[in-house]
Amino acid sequence: MTRLQVDGVTVELPAGATLLDAARAAGAELPTLCHDDRLRPAGSCRTCLVHADGRTVAACVTPAEPGTAVDTVGEEVRELRRDAVALIASALPPRALADDSPSELAEACHESGIDPTDSGAAPPRGSDESHPYVHLDRDLCIACGRCVRMCADVQGTFALTLTGRGADTVVAPGTGGPWAASDCVACGGCVDTCPTGAITQPGPGRGLTSRRADPDRVRTTCGYCGVGCALDVVVRDERVAAVLPARDGPVNRGHACVKGRFSYGYLTSAERLTEPLVRRGGVLTPASWDEAIAVVAEGLRAAVGHGGPDAVAAISSARATNEENYLVQKFLRTVIGTNNVDNCSRLCHAPSAAGLTASFGRAGGTDSFDDVETADCLLVVGANPVEAHPVVGARLLQRALAGATLVVADPRNVGLARHADVRLRPRPGTNVALFHGLAHVLVDERLVDPDFLRDRATGLDELTELLADYPPERVAGITGVPADDIRRAARLYGRAERPAVLYGLGVTEHLHGTDGVRTLANLPILRGAVGGTGHGFGISPLRGQNNVQGASDMGALPDLLPGYGHVTDPEARDRAEAVWGRPVPPTPGLRIPEMFEAAREGRLRALWIIGEDVCATDPDSRRVAEALDACPLVVVDELFLSGTARHADVVLPVASWLEKDGTFVNFDRRFQRVRAAVRPPGTARTDFEVVHAVATATGADLGCPTPADALAECGRVAPVFAGLSHARLDREGAVPWPCPSPDRPGEATLYAREFATPDGRAHLSAAPYLPPGEEPDADYPLLLVTGRRWAHYNSGSMTRRGGNLLLDTRGRLDLHPEDAVRYGVRDGAPVVVDSRHGQARLIARVGADLAPGQVFCAFHFPDEGVNSLTSEHADTVTSCPEYKVTAVRVRPTASDD
């Protein structure tokens, strides 16, 4: 610790602190117009001048030395600071310092007694209002560079620069031209850091930043991706005025992305459902809640009467809260009497749950992201976090720019790949061979941890025997990855002191996705880089939807109860039955694809779908629609009349994540609170209220009347959650599970003593490489990979209803220039994509991000039909669809209608 005096007050600070830290610790407030704690200090504006042992220095860049005497209050030094602020303000028009301006500069002027009428000499420089979320008023720019540093150092986009000379220096997009046409990804970092209001968000949120903690802001957790950013919602006139990144957010630390930060326009969309709809005479017509709930209850009774409890099923929601998921599965199990409940992790990370459980014993990542981020080698596989998990992508990029080696394995040249030390581009569907190739090198070159393998792992002999068949040269033939690159990547991972593996859906959404997870998990086991050994940070899945981890944790799965007790395990059932007072069915229920199959075959007679647009997001969507049409009762909880809702018999309008209370679990197993900032529109209710209402209408009482009660009850069913409560999360912010006791912290790092497998050991997998379900042929010569684009999310139901639509207006098909020539496709022109299953219409985007023979698109625009292309091939262990490998052909078309 460093001890020094500030204005006569003794302060103690950790090593590396600055005089600004010291001044703040002593309670002094200094203007800091070029400084933001999230950025490297610049020391250029001189507004934080102090006297240190008689010298005049900028506090933000001056190290705190032991014994220094700092003066922040003397007349002379205050005058120096006032002059520095006044000089900066003098170049700006008076509106920069208006009384109602919340900017740092205006505040500094007011506190220093600087008169706004003194300012305003500079000639006007104009504005840029081309972007839906970021407006630039050049006249207010003081060229402090905070926005430029935020864009480069925190976001890693490098979209901004300072142009001009001297007093004419001003921020501008690095590409020149309007902001809307720049590389900006609208993370909002520049808006949040700008000290003058030169860069602002238009509308009622103009000028609001995360700088001041304001008690009337509502702290919640982002409802888009699984990163779990903490956000502060500002409400004006009962509407969301701004969503600001929380500077003390445990994962995001004052950052966010275009979705969480800006994409809330959907809340007030005229298309929001505000009253229930019931199908009458073949047409969905408005109904009261009492009528709609009565129809649902009667339909459920009829289904059970006709086919027994297993004629009913529910698809719960990875978008919904933990408490809602808990209640849905409890309703199905205890009121209906079936285990037919599943959630969309079936379509994304079910192989993670199965694979990580088989390898280590628990269905989540092995380490906290805070640890992963300190790794000296990052192996990122089958993921594009820069677009799909932007805040994690930004933090990984920061780590790589700070010197960690980076290996990226993905068929596409994804954002992080551009900064990678080694880029591996395996053919889609060949992951298992690639992972075995890497493992072969680790074993062959003795880059393994023999003590760890002897003491804490099992399966080495079988794996070693198998790896003999996977030398890099053979793996190169299967994957298309050069053998030397496999060796280089394995050596970087194998020789690192603290390596970490992160992966995404490019590993799981395959015919052999669970094998992919397990054989990837072989690498940290071989290396002894898992289980709190201090030699690395295991393996972490980047979860897709905001609460896909939590939906599964809560037991919205056909074979697993809350906390992952198996329904076939009498002990797990006993525990749940003791709490619920009702029997739990002992046989696993239907998975989502099996639900559709049962509906088509007439075995399933009632399907309740909560917040999922399965007609847009599930594979082979034509067959999904057939299933819904064949099912006598389809109930859909939704925000909008989605493609799925159009097939429903009852549509129930529900609240979104900004309109409800509860908790989510993020990708590294942290529980965080979700809080209602605004009321849902019309008569819309939360899913929590809806499940209660349906249960009541069927004559049942589910208990746990509030979300807080539901989480508390879940803790009694599942010991791993017993230490969690809303009250604790309100106090502590985020708590990871396992958390078996209220007086113990959650376990951020798993398996420090032993693995949670039956024998306490990590299990190596010797699964051989097997080819994907689809291969290209003469009729369908291209391989289609699907994924996400940065501005949109999933089926796009929320992001297409607001400014994000202006950032990315429609679906595009990425293809290589050689393929564009071969198939007569022009960049920007409409194309038809055919597979063995369906057809999609997209706009071609020609570029070298993909290898020849591969194409890529997202499914954010359901009308374009992307998921009619994908097949019913699915992971052989978990039924997770093979979204990442579909054989297609492409042809130009005259019209994009």
Rounded Cα–Cα distance for residues 676 and 223 (Å): 12
Pattern of binders to ligand SF4 over 457-476, x per CB under 6 A? --------------------
Name the residue nearer to ligand SF4 (CB basis): 254 or 361: 254
Distance in Å, CB of 252 to ligand SF4, minimum: 6
Name the residue nearer to ligand SF4 (CB basis): 228 or 776: 228
Work out whether strand 670-674 and strand 734-736 pair parallel, antiparallel, or are unpaired. Answer: antiparallel
Size of the site for ligand SF4 (CB under 6 A): 14
Rounded Cα–Cα distance for residues 261 and 192 (Å): 10
Distance in Å, CB of 131 to ligand SF4, minimum: 18
Q: Residue 504: name the closest of 349, 382, 352 by CA.
A: 382
- The span of 97-105, 112-120, 352-360, 388-396 binding ligand SF4 (CB under 6 A) equals 388-396
Contacting ligand SF4 (CB under 6 A), which of 88, 257, 313, 448? 257
Distance in Å, CB of 352 to ligand SF4, minimum: 18
Name the residue nearer to ligand SF4 (CB basis): 392 or 400: 392
Backbone angles phi, psi at 652, to 5 degrees: -110, 120
Name the residue nearer to ligand SF4 (CB basis): 228 or 506: 228
Name the residue nearer to ligand SF4 (CB basis): 368 or 868: 368
Please identify which residue in the block is written with the tokens 């620069």: 161
Name the residue nearer to ligand SF4 (CB basis): 108 or 807: 807
Q: Residue 624: name the closest of 656, 592, 671, 586 by CA.
A: 592
Should residue 259 be labelled a site residue for ligand SF4 when binding is judged by CB under 6 A? yes
Distance in Å, CB of 723 to ligand SF4, minimum: 24
Please identify which residue in the block is written with the tokens 């093979």: 882
Using CB positions, name the residue nearest to ligand SF4. Answer: 260
Distance in Å, CB of 666 to ligand SF4, minimum: 8
Distance in Å, CB of 255 to ligand SF4, minimum: 8
Contacting ligand SF4 (CB under 6 A), which of 132, 145, 189, 260? 260
Distance in Å, CB of 57 to ligand SF4, minimum: 37
Should residue 276 be labelled a site residue for ligand SF4 when binding is judged by CB under 6 A? no
DSSP state of 546: T
Neighbours of 471 (CB within 10 A): 16
Rounded Cα–Cα distance for residues 428 and 468 (Å): 23
Both tokens of 4, joined, read 């020094």
Q: How far is CA 50 from CA 17, 30, 820, in A?
A: 15, 9, 62
Distance in Å, CB of 578 to ligand SF4, minimum: 36
Name the residue nearer to ligand SF4 (CB basis): 210 or 879: 210
Question: Is the backbone peptide bond immediately before 738 cis, with ω within 30 degrees of 0?
Answer: yes
Dihedral, 731, 737, 739, 744 alpha carbons, nearest 10: -60
Rounded Cα–Cα distance for residues 885 and 872 (Å): 11
Should residue 850 be labelled a site residue for ligand SF4 when binding is judged by CB under 6 A? no
Please identify which residue in the block is written with the tokens 């002992």: 586
Distance in Å, CB of 222 to ligand SF4, minimum: 3
Taking every pair of Cα atoms in the chain, the longest distance, rounded to a whole number of angstroms, is 89
- The span of 383-391, 484-492, 723-731, 804-812 binding ligand SF4 (CB under 6 A) equals 383-391
Should residue 390 be labelled a site residue for ligand SF4 when binding is judged by CB under 6 A? yes
Distance in Å, CB of 485 to ligand SF4, minimum: 30
Q: Residue 41: name the closest of 24, 18, 13, 15 by CA.
A: 18
Work out whether strand 830-835 and strand 886-892 pair parallel, antiparallel, or are unpaired. Answer: antiparallel
- The span of 254-262, 488-496, 651-659, 872-880 binding ligand SF4 (CB under 6 A) equals 254-262
Name the residue nearer to ligand SF4 (CB basis): 360 or 369: 369
Should residue 88 be labelled a site residue for ligand SF4 when binding is judged by CB under 6 A? no
Please identify which residue in the block is written with the tokens 């397990």: 518
Distance in Å, CB of 646 to ligand SF4, minimum: 27
- The span of 386-394, 467-475, 656-664, 801-809 binding ligand SF4 (CB under 6 A) equals 386-394
Helix 472-479 × helix 483-495 angle, to 10° = 120
Residues in 190-229 at the binding interface with ligand SF4, rule: CB under 6 A: 222, 224-225, 227-229
Q: How far is CA 482 from CA 377, 489, 746, 807, in A?
A: 21, 11, 43, 37
Distance in Å, CB of 67 to ligand SF4, minimum: 43
Both tokens of 258, joined, read 């275009």
Distance in Å, CB of 538 to ligand SF4, minimum: 22
Cα end-to-end span (Å), the chain: 68
Rounded Cα–Cα distance for residues 880 and 354 (Å): 11
Name the residue nearer to ligand SF4 (CB basis): 259 or 487: 259
Contacting ligand SF4 (CB under 6 A), which of 22, 30, 256, 501? 256
Name the residue nearer to ligand SF4 (CB basis): 228 or 276: 228
Tell me the residue type at 884: K
Name the residue nearer to ligand SF4 (CB basis): 340 or 672: 672
Should residue 391 be labelled a site residue for ligand SF4 when binding is judged by CB under 6 A? yes
Residues in 228-247 at the binding interface with ligand SF4, rule: CB under 6 A: 228-229
Both tokens of 348, joined, read 């994304």
- Reported in sequence order, the residue ranges of 774-883 that DSSP labels E, i.e. its strands, are 782-787, 812-815, 830-835, 839-846, 854-858
Should residue 389 be labelled a site residue for ligand SF4 when binding is judged by CB under 6 A? yes
Distance in Å, CB of 506 to ligand SF4, minimum: 18
- The span of 71-79, 164-172, 253-261, 885-893 binding ligand SF4 (CB under 6 A) equals 253-261
- Reported in sequence order, the residue ranges of 764-867 that DSSP labels E, i.e. its strands, are 782-787, 812-815, 830-835, 839-846, 854-858
Name the residue nearer to ligand SF4 (CB basis): 228 or 428: 228
Name the residue nearer to ligand SF4 (CB basis): 257 or 857: 257
Rounded Cα–Cα distance for residues 534 and 527 (Å): 11
- The span of 96-104, 249-257, 342-350, 765-773 binding ligand SF4 (CB under 6 A) equals 249-257
Should residue 838 be labelled a site residue for ligand SF4 when binding is judged by CB under 6 A? no
Work out whether strand 283-286 and strand 277-280 pair parallel, antiparallel, or are unpaired. Answer: antiparallel
Residues in 653-712 at the binding interface with ligand SF4, rule: CB under 6 A: none
Rounded Cα–Cα distance for residues 896 and 830 (Å): 5
Both tokens of 210, joined, read 């995360």
Distance in Å, CB of 249 to ligand SF4, minimum: 9
User: Are the CB atoms for 324 and 351 separated by under 8 Å?
Assistant: no
Question: To which H or E segment does residue 636 belong?
Answer: strand 633-638
Name the residue nearer to ligand SF4 (CB basis): 254 or 558: 254
DSSP state of 43: -
Should residue 624 be labelled a site residue for ligand SF4 when binding is judged by CB under 6 A? no
Q: Footprint of ligand SF4 on this chain (CB under 6 A)?
A: 222, 224-225, 227-229, 252, 256-257, 259-260, 389-391
